[in-house]
Amino acid sequence: MKNIISTLAKTAVVFLSISSFDQVALASNRLPVNLYNIKAEISPEVFIRQATLMGMKELQLSGVANEQSTDAKIKAYAKMMITDHSKANEELKILAKAKGVSLPMGKLEVGTLRSDGRVDSAPENMKDTTRNDNQPEAAGNVKTNAPLTSGELTEADILKSVDELKKLKGASLDQSYVSTMIADHQKAVALFEEGTKSTDAATRKFASKQLPKLKAHLKHVMALSK
């Protein structure tokens, strides 16, 4: 009888252990994926390409806001974005050339991204070379060796955001622009903070120089949302 009780007790312990393990495993599956990923150091190429695209998106959306908004504060912020990110992207082009990085600023099926951050929405406008150099080599080769990973900004994302903002007017446009600027600057700050940790001196120097400006932009636009 004692042996039977002992065996039953041991079996219960095993089942409880399995049940507990299952509960832990089930709970762990609900955790954010990024908790499982040990983030490797961002490469100069990925940093430069993503920083360029982020800057281009902010330039283009700010161009729309500056042209279509009727709010003086929104227009002033948009003009500041155009000025600051135009300068930053010019510096990025120099850094990209020094590092042999191909910038993702080529022609797309629905339009073209220009090196100054402006967008031509119609394919026929790609032939226009009067506004600025429109050759692929002027903006950087479209091909790149660094693979994109999920969550990274793409040219298609930018064009979609610009198209959506253009359709809005008045308060809807202002609110959309401000909320997008907040979200995008939060992402930019995170990216540039990673850039400041780069083992590449030139990348680290550029990221360290731009990070305070991005934080100031974020603080400014968050104030506009209140």
Mean pLDDT of 120-130: 34
Query: What's this model's pTM, rounded to 2 decimal places?
Result: 0.67
**117 within some domain:** no
Task: Give me the pLDDT at residue 103, please.
Answer: 84
Residue 160 sits in a domain of what CATH number? 1.20.1260.10
Mean pLDDT of 175-181: 97
Question: In the structure, what pLDDT confidence band is assigned to residue 220 with cuts at 50, 70 and 90?
Answer: very high
Task: Give me the pLDDT at residue 40, please.
Answer: 65
3-state SS, one letter per residue, for the chain: CHHHHHHHHHHHHHHHHHHHHHHHHHHHHCCCHHHCCCCCCCCHHHHHHHHHHHHHHHHHHHHHHHHHCCCHHHHHHHHHHHHHHHHHHHHHHHHHHHHCCCCCCCEECCEEECCCCCEECCHHHHHCCCCCCCCHHHHCCCCCCCCCCCCCCCHHHHHHHHHHHHCCCHHHHHHHHHHHHHHHHHHHHHHHHHHCCCCCHHHHHHHHHHHHHHHHHHHHHHHHCC
Higher pLDDT: 119 or 187? It is 187
Burial string for 10-21 (b: 16+ CB within 10 Å, else e) reads eeeeeeeeeeee
Question: In the structure, what pLDDT confidence band is assigned to residue 190 with cuts at 50, 70 and 90?
Answer: very high
Question: In the structure, what pLDDT confidence band is assigned to residue 1 with cuts at 50, 70 and 90?
Answer: low
Domain membership of residue 214 as a residue range = 44-105+153-225
Higher pLDDT: 109 or 66? It is 66
Task: Give me the pLDDT at residue 108, please.
Answer: 37
Tokens of 21: 């393990």
Higher pLDDT: 94 or 104? It is 94
Is the pLDDT reported for residue 189 higher than 60? yes
Task: Give me the pLDDT at residue 194, please.
Answer: 95
CB burial of residue 48 (10 Å; 0-12, 13-18, 19+)? buried
**38 within some domain:** no
Task: Give me the pLDDT at residue 152, please.
Answer: 86
- Ramachandran category for residue 56: left, alpha or beta (phi over 0 → left; psi -120 to 50 → alpha): alpha
User: CA 203, 157, 101: angle at the middle one, nearest 5?
Assistant: 30
Number of structural domains found in the chain? 1
Q: List all residues 6 or more positions away from 139 whose beta carbon is below 8 Å from its beta carbon.
A: 103, 105, 106, 113, 114, 115, 133
**167 within some domain:** yes
**215 within some domain:** yes
